[in-house]
Structure 1
Amino acid sequence: MNKRCTECRATVQVPLPELDKKAVYLDQFMFSIIYNVEHDGKLPKGHEAFAKEAYALLRRCVLLQQIFLPHSDIHHDETTVFHSPTDLRGLYELFGGDVSVTDSRDVELLQNIQFAKAYFEGIEPKISFDIDEITDRRRNEWLPDMHVDVRADYSQFADHIRRVRGEVHDALKHLANTWLEKKVTFAGVLEREFSEIGPTKIQAFAKWIEDVSNPDPSDPLALFESCGSPIYREYKELCRILEDLGYDEDEQAIKIAQFWHWERQREIPHQKISSYLFAAVARRVVMGEKKIVDRGLMNDVRTIATYAPYVDALFIDKRCAAILKEETLLAELEYKARIFSLSDPDEFLEYLREIEVQTPDDVRKYAAMIYGIE
């Protein structure tokens, strides 16, 4: 930090204290609440006081350099169909500390590749859950006192996002009806989720080949999406690994298919967490819970399965928070994040208060100088 005398203009450089910011991931609903607090909008009934205090505490902890609120591709898609997307995007970038996490599909790919290397080399899989490995910039830098907002407009993608979300919702509803008709069990759905990993990847790759060979002329984004398809990207990365290990091109497809059917695929964190979540959802559907399969469910599952192992805290909807507290999931899932929701808003406020109180004195002093907080 530069300090300058107001009289003689002499300047000295002062080293700032080192930081260790916590990653607090807020779901889209929570960012919408923050937006409404800033714009005097409608707050969730019965939680008006919580919304205002959470807003103040979050902002204070961010400016005290104790936390950052990462945004992701999941936020980006949900923001694109929001009524004021540009303003909301600008808010969560500025308000949260302007650090994003790697796209969810890229995090999944990272974990898949780490397991693939272990499989191909015959060693034990190891995965690091260091948050710095999935952030787009160094989280422990002091925030700049100026912010540049590009205010990009992604509205041209809104209809496509809505259409895809609708298709996914329809597929989930059909799946839920199947669960209900067959009276499935948690254990049965969990085992099916695990056993279908390999066949599903093979089917997805076959569909990718078909889509590239016969693109839909009525959908200008179809070919673009095919080129960035997660299954294609994974296949190419696996081919590269096998090439480096000395496998001929005609051997690579066989080795990849074998890896996709490897029993330990079920241990890959995003696979394991999402499978348990779907099994728990299926159990609730069979028990008669009718509203659990909604348009936001898939994004909620992706958020938890992808980021819970890396971030310090997750604020998610009440439904998913309750599922994660079920005995089976508590006993068999491991992830770093503390889980919060509107089911117990005071718990989240207390978490933020503890972080604020534990701010080192030297950090607090310089934060007051730079950002004007008391």
Structure 2
Amino acid sequence: MKVLNPKTKANKKGIDEYWLRLFERLDRLCKLQLIVCPDSEYHDNESQVTAFYSELKRMYELLSHGKTFYDKETIKNFQLFEHFTNWLVGKNSVGLELDIDSIVRRGNINSWTGRFIVSVNREINLEAIEALLDLRNQSYSEIEGIFRVWSESKNTDFNHWYKNEVESFGKGTLNMYFRHQQKLYELWNNPEFEDFEALLSSSSVRHVNMMLKVLGKHGVEDDLMKLLKIEEYFKTANFDNLPFLHLSASLFASIARKAAAGRKKPPNRGTMNDIEMISTFLPYCDAMFIDNECASYLNEKPLVDNIGFSTKIFSQARREEFMQFLDGIEQSASQEHIELVTKVYGESWKKPYVTLYKPTK
């Protein structure tokens, strides 16, 4: 954004020309209907806490052209539903059917885009921004505490920490569900109950409610038996083929190993968000450009051998390789395809929109 926006201080000081080349390449490939760059809640949240919300929104909407990922908890629920159902019918070793269209709003992700982008601007909600910053600070405090535990353990076994993360997910999900049930009980039995915010369903509560419904459809009627079955699932299922959990557990296990091996500095404030984003979207993407630290984890053994997906990973450290990858996409397109795009959209359509932030007369 800064390389195109003359209003930014960074633009006036001079920007690495790589980012201009990258924008031109991405914009052209999107217009040639050769790549799709969906936007997501992460784009929205990350841009809200900057001084350039509307400008960043304009950029990611240009490249996504109306293709938006569902929120992370909805995608997790989709995966958990299929994984739990498979386990219930004795097919726990079966991989999930990861259909990209199922997690993207508004139609077929491979459909050609229209000429117009319809966008609605909203007022900046300072309370929402403050809540996002508070959540980020809370997440950072939590990972600082966990990092100290990892450091003190001196246990550098990847599988140990991977298993620990998987078990923590199951225990945490059930604990959150039971806490919510306790709050509901207090509401019904205490006329002076005022903690209504605690009654809002967390993602863990929604996950368990979904599994309770699945069990009901499979003939389990007793409520206690349903909960025992869910507990059994979290204790016995193979979670290597539950993508979001497998990836997040693997990334945290990689950090834990480094902490136990003597790393002094905990991950930065954006790490939790990065891990959430990667573990949610990586299975559905052909390629991702992420920060150097997370890219290094994904390229290290044993994680690199156990990712289970063919997604190509790029970062600042491999940025020219990313450019070559993008160049190869256009080179692989047939002449007939390029000619059809020109026929449908016009010759000027393929020109990158480098004047995106220039004032119109």
TM-score, structure 2 normalization: 0.85
> Is this contact kept in 2: 1:197–1:265, CA < 8 A?
no
Structure 2 equivalent of residue 199 of structure 1: 171
> Number of paired residues?
335
* DSSP 3-state at the match of 1:112: helix
Structure 1 equivalent of residue 244 of structure 2: 270
Deviates more, 1:109-118 or 1:200-209: 200-209
| Aligned mates of 1:288, 1:331 — CA distance in 2 | 24
* DSSP 3-state at the match of 2:19: helix
1:132 aligns with 2:101: yes
Structure 1 equivalent of residue 294 of structure 2: 320
Structure 2 CA distance for partners of 1:102 and 1:282, relative to 1, 3 Å: same
Structure 2 CA distance for partners of 1:75 and 1:209, relative to 1, 3 Å: farther
| Aligned mates of 1:36, 1:363 — CA distance in 2 | 32
Measured against aligned partners, the alpha-carbon deviations of 1:287-337 in whole angstroms (never above 9, x if no partner) come to 444445111101111122111111100100001111111121111221131
Within a 5 Å distance, the mapping from 1:209-228 to structure 2 comes to 209-210=181-182, 222-223=197-198, 227-228=200-201
Within a 5 Å distance, the mapping from 1:301-316 to structure 2 comes to 301-316=275-290
Structure 2 CA distance for partners of 1:81 and 1:207, relative to 1, 3 Å: farther
| Aligned mates of 1:368, 1:80 — CA distance in 2 | 36
1:244 aligns with 2:244: no
1:75 counterpart letter in structure 2: H
| Aligned mates of 1:282, 1:218 — CA distance in 2 | 40
> Is this contact kept in 1: 2:173–2:208, CA < 8 A?
no
1:77 aligns with 2:45: yes
Structure 2 equivalent of residue 143 of structure 1: 113
In the TM superposition, residue 212 of structure 1 has moved relative to its aligned partner by 5.2
TM-score, structure 1 normalization: 0.82
Structure 2 CA distance for partners of 1:56 and 1:292, relative to 1, 3 Å: farther
> Is this contact kept in 1: 2:41–2:71, CA < 8 A?
yes
Unmatched 5+ residue regions in structure 2? 188-192, 352-361
| Aligned mates of 1:85, 1:364 — CA distance in 2 | 34
Structure 2 equivalent of residue 20 of structure 1: none
Structure 2 equivalent of residue 168 of structure 1: 139
| Aligned mates of 1:98, 1:239 — CA distance in 2 | 34
1:331 aligns with 2:291: no
> Is this contact kept in 1: 2:144–2:266, CA < 8 A?
no
Deviates more, 1:112-121 or 1:77-86: 77-86
1:357 aligns with 2:331: yes
> Is this contact kept in 2: 1:190–1:276, CA < 8 A?
yes
| Aligned mates of 1:104, 1:191 — CA distance in 2 | 22
Unmatched 5+ residue regions in structure 1? 1-34
> Is this contact kept in 2: 1:73–1:103, CA < 8 A?
yes
2:206 to 209, 217, 233: 233
> Is this contact kept in 2: 1:273–1:333, CA < 8 A?
yes
> Is this contact kept in 1: 2:96–2:242, CA < 8 A?
no
In the TM superposition, residue 228 of structure 1 has moved relative to its aligned partner by 4.1
1:237 counterpart letter in structure 2: M
* DSSP 3-state at the match of 1:314: strand
In the TM superposition, residue 274 of structure 1 has moved relative to its aligned partner by 1.0
Structure 2 equivalent of residue 39 of structure 1: 5
| Aligned mates of 1:46, 1:331 — CA distance in 2 | 41
| Aligned mates of 2:150, 2:208 — CA distance in 1 | 32
| Aligned mates of 2:96, 2:203 — CA distance in 1 | 20
Structure 2 equivalent of residue 120 of structure 1: 88
In the TM superposition, residue 131 of structure 1 has moved relative to its aligned partner by 1.6
1:102 aligns with 2:78: no
> Is this contact kept in 1: 2:79–2:96, CA < 8 A?
yes
Structure 2 equivalent of residue 159 of structure 1: 130
Structure 2 equivalent of residue 8 of structure 1: none
* DSSP 3-state at the match of 2:310: coil
> Is this contact kept in 2: 1:169–1:294, CA < 8 A?
yes
| Aligned mates of 2:122, 2:236 — CA distance in 1 | 43
1:52 to 20, 28, 36: 20
Deviates more, 1:191-200 or 1:206-215: 206-215
Structure 1 equivalent of residue 359 of structure 2: none
> Is this contact kept in 1: 2:99–2:284, CA < 8 A?
yes
What is the percent sequence identity of the aligned residues? 24
> Is this contact kept in 2: 1:189–1:282, CA < 8 A?
yes
Structure 1 equivalent of residue 153 of structure 2: 182
| Aligned mates of 1:340, 1:68 — CA distance in 2 | 16
| Aligned mates of 1:152, 1:348 — CA distance in 2 | 34
